[in-house]
Amino acid sequence: MLGTLVFLAILIAIVVGGIGLYNRLVALKHRVATSWSNIDVLLKQRHDELPKLVDTCRQYMQYEQETLEKVMQARNSVHAAREAGDIAGVSAAEGGLRAQLGRLFAVAEAYPDLKANASFQQLQARISGLETGISDRRELYNESVNSNNATIEQFPASIIASLFGFKPAKLLEFGSAEKADVSVKALFDA
């Protein structure tokens, strides 16, 4: 009788512990999804602002069409990866887009009329603000991913994770081009 009670107590403790671990994994998965949604909102907003910026620049930068086209191509790459839900693709495309935006803003320095244009100033400030927001939310997203992935790898959560198909998430990392400063001298020597 005592042995049966001990066995039932252990069984109940294992079941309750398993349910707790399962619920924790579900919460972490949803935290990762929510963090991605927060980034996605900003990516969409920036996606909508970039054509306005390019149109404003196009009025002043007749000789810089290649720069403007590269910004739009990079924008489209980010959009395609984002729509496909490809985190690694977004990471790669973001690096390219950020490099092209840096180049665009550096080249814009050579056009005093453009720099003085209120629309350009407003769009530049808006896009810079969105970039800051994306960076902040990327940090939160990556923290969520790290928590999720570490929990999935820990014992005994790894057992529950493999039983119920919980998968590790991918970090959102931007390439070295995004982290590097734009060389203004190289832009004007080309």
Q: Where are the alpha helices (DSSP H) in 59-117?
A: 65-84, 87-108, 112-116
Instruction: Give me the percent of the chain exceeding a pLDDT of 70.
Output: 92
Q: What is the pLDDT of residue 181?
A: 45
Residue ranges of domains in the chain? 2-189
- Does 76 or 177 have the greater pLDDT score? 76
pLDDT of residue 36: 95
The 10s digit of each residue's pLDDT in 132-186 is 999 999 999 999 999 999 999 999 999 999 999 999 999 998 865 444 444 434 4
pLDDT category at 189 given cuts 50, 70, 90 is very low
Q: Are 10 and 42 in contact (CB under 8 A)?
A: no
Work out the pLDDT band at 5, boundaries 50, 70, 90. Answer: very high
Specify whether the CB–CB gap between 42 and 132 falls below 8 A: no
Which amino acid type is present at position 15? V
Nearest CA among 147, 153, 167, 161 for reference residue 22: 161
Domain 2-189: which CATH number of 3.30.70.1380, 1.10.275.10, 1.20.1440.20, 3.40.50.2300: 1.20.1440.20
Structure confidence at residue 175 (pLDDT) = 66
pLDDT at residue 188 is higher than 50: no
Q: What is the pLDDT of residue 107?
A: 87
The Cα–Cα gap between 97 and 158 comes to 37
CB of 82 closer than 8 Å to CB of 97: no
* Higher per-residue confidence, 190 vs 99: 99
d(CA 17, CA 156): 10
Q: Does position 64 have pLDDT exceeding 50, yes or no?
A: yes
Confidence band for 61, pLDDT divided at 50, 70 and 90? confident
Global pTM value: 0.79
